[in-house]
């Protein structure tokens, strides 16, 4: 069920895009039990996207219980007191509903794309498993094995994934983001049904969730259905949530290098811990624009300077700033020269500094216009709009002030970008990771 098909980096672009056009009709309200509901009307096609965000992810797991959020995501499809284990999937499939779920560091999301005539069925099933989930021994053991096998296939058998995880562990050391979303093999095996039930009781509750409905539905109808199916659900008694500590590891530079037999080309990654949109909007939006200009397209500065001059096979930058914890600014490079990694690292660092020096007010304005082109996708796709609104609401940002967030990006100045990037380079915690092929012959 852990289908990570959404890339959170694009949410910033979605925000900017609504600046120069009418935002689709949407309404936000809260039920008496604290469930946040957001409705976005889009009547171009008789479909709707339903997304239920629980504000809980890998960052909320206790030390030693990594993978618990992901395991519970799987267990949510195993039946309730009203719907048997197989009936949930059968009902969805028989009614032509495209459904799935995913777990991240920050939240767990259940989503369904459906014909509008089936919205009520989706809401009924989601409300039922929010309140009446059953976890029997057989279901728990089955899903625990599946999660274990997923970890083996996707991480343990993938050298690049293992190395990226090792890098993340160093970057986020002693913070809640240190936990791998999939969990470790050892800790997955030690999880118990009691752990899963406690996690469910603590976090799967109306006042810790956001329901988003986007598509061919009137806000009044959506409100009626939300009240009908979710309005009577009582909040569960939560245990003490883990304190979110991110301030202790925000400085220092670390370099890790590793050789692996099953790696064919050298890969270099750099990550910086930076303010999220919740920490510092001005800095976050400045970094978003800089990353877009630096390396998020085929016309970016890094592409022009390193790929078109045949110094790199690929190079990119991206940011992850719409998060509950700290943000991250990331760079990746596949250098053409497969020797002297210190030179390749310096080339990447120097090109980033050069890009900042060559950024002008005129180029910055063009970059703002470029990101505004995402407007058409957000307006026309109920799924994109649902995900955008769900992220904003889950972070506690005010949906009714969506246009204000767009204004922030339009107001970013060259000085803002320069200050944000220079401060990142001087003070942020940084991890550089180099993954290299290992020569089997030479090691014999």
Residues 6+ positions from 136 with CB-CB distance below 8 Å: 78
Q: Tokens 């600014």 map to which residue?
A: 329
Measured over the CA atoms of residue 15, residue 19, residue 25 and residue 28, the dihedral's sign is positive
Q: How many CB atoms lie within 10 A of CB 133?
A: 21
CB 16 within 8 A of CB 1: no
pLDDT for the residue numbered 372: 65
pLDDT for the residue numbered 339: 72
Residues 78-103 have pLDDT tens digits of 999 999 888 999 999 999 999 999 99
Q: Is 303 helix (H, G, I), strand (E, B) or coil?
A: helix
Identify the CATH number of the domain defined by range 253-376+398-437. 3.30.830.10
Give the Å distances, CA to CA, from 444 to 258, 263, 402, 439.
Answer: 18, 18, 61, 9
pTM over 0.75: yes
CB 378 within 8 A of CB 384: yes
CB 21 within 8 A of CB 379: yes
pLDDT for the residue numbered 403: 66
| Fold of the domain built from segment(s) 8-230 | Cytochrome Bc1 Complex; Chain A, domain 1 (3.30.830)
DSSP 180-200: -TT--HHHHHH--HHHHHHHH
pLDDT for the residue numbered 12: 42
pLDDT for the residue numbered 14: 44
What span, in angstroms and rounded, lies between the C-alpha atoms of 316 and 146? 33
Which residues of the chain form CATH 3.30.830.10? 8-230, 253-376+398-437
What span, in angstroms and rounded, lies between the C-alpha atoms of 68 and 372? 38
Q: What is the DSSP letter of 241?
A: P
**Residue stretches of the chain with pLDDT short of 70:** 1-24, 238-245, 247-250, 372-377, 400-405, 440-444
pLDDT for the residue numbered 429: 95
pLDDT for the residue numbered 409: 80
Quickly count helices (H) and strands (E) in the chain.
Answer: 17, 11
Sheet holding 209-215, edge to edge: 26-30, 36-41, 209-215, 47-54, 108-115, 98-103
pLDDT for the residue numbered 94: 96
What span, in angstroms and rounded, lies between the C-alpha atoms of 315 and 189? 38
Here the tokens at position 80 are: 């309730």
pLDDT for the residue numbered 100: 97
């Amino acid at each position: 069920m852990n289908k990570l098909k959404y890339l959170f980096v694009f949410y910033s672009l979605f925000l900017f895009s609504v600046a120069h056009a009418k935002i689709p009709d949407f309404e936000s309200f809260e039920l008496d039990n604290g469930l946040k509901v957001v409705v976005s009307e889009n009547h171009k096609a008789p479909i709707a996207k339903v997304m239920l965000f629980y504000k809980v992810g890998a960052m909320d797991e206790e030390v030693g219980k990594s993978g618990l959020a992901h395991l519970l995501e799987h267990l949510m499809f195993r039946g309730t007191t009203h719907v048997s284990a197989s009936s949930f999937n059968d009902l969805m499939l028989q009614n032509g509903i495209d459904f799935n779920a995913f777990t991240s560091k920050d939240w767990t999301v259940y989503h369904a794309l459906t014909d509008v005539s089936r919205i009520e069925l989706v809401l009924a099933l989601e409300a039922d498993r929010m309140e009446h989930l059953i976890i029997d021994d057989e279901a728990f053991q089955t899903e625990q094995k599946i999660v274990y096998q997923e970890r083996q296939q996707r991480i343990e058998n993938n050298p690049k994934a293992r190395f990226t995880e090792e890098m993340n562990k160093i970057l986020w050391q002693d913070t809640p983001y240190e936990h791998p979303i999939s969990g470790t093999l050892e800790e997955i095996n030690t999880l118990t049904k009691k752990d899963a039930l406690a996690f469910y009781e603590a976090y799967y509750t109306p006042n810790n969730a956001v329901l988003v409905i986007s598509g061919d539905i009137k806000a009044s109808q959506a409100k009626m259905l939300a009240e009908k199916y979710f309005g009577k659900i009582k909040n569960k008694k939560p245990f003490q949530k883990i304190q979110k500590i991110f301030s202790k590891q925000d400085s220092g530079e670390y370099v890790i290098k590793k050789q692996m037999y099953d790696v064919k080309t050298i890969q270099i990654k750099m990550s910086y811990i930076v303010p999220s949109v919740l920490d510092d909007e001005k800095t976050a939006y400045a970094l978003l624009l800089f990353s877009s200009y630096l390396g998020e397209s085929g016309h970016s500065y890094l592409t022009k300077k390193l790929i078109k001059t045949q110094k790199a096979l690929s190079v990119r930058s991206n940011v992850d700033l719409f998060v509950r914890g700290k943000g991250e600014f990331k760079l990746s490079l596949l250098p053409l020269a497969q020797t002297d990694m210190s030179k390749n690292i310096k080339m990447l660092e120097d090109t980033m500094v050069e890009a900042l020096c060559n950024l002008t007010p005129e180029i910055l304005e063009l970059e703002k216009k470029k990101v505004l082109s995402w407007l058409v996708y957000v307006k026309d796709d109920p799924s994109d709009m649902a995900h955008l609104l769900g992220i904003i609401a889950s972070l506690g940002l005010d949906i009714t002030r969506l246009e204000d967030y767009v204004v922030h990006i339009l107001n970013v100045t060259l000085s803002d970008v320069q200050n944000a990037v220079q401060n990142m380079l001087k003070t942020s915690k940084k991890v550089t990771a180099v993954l290299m092929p290992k020569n089997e012959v030479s090691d014999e």
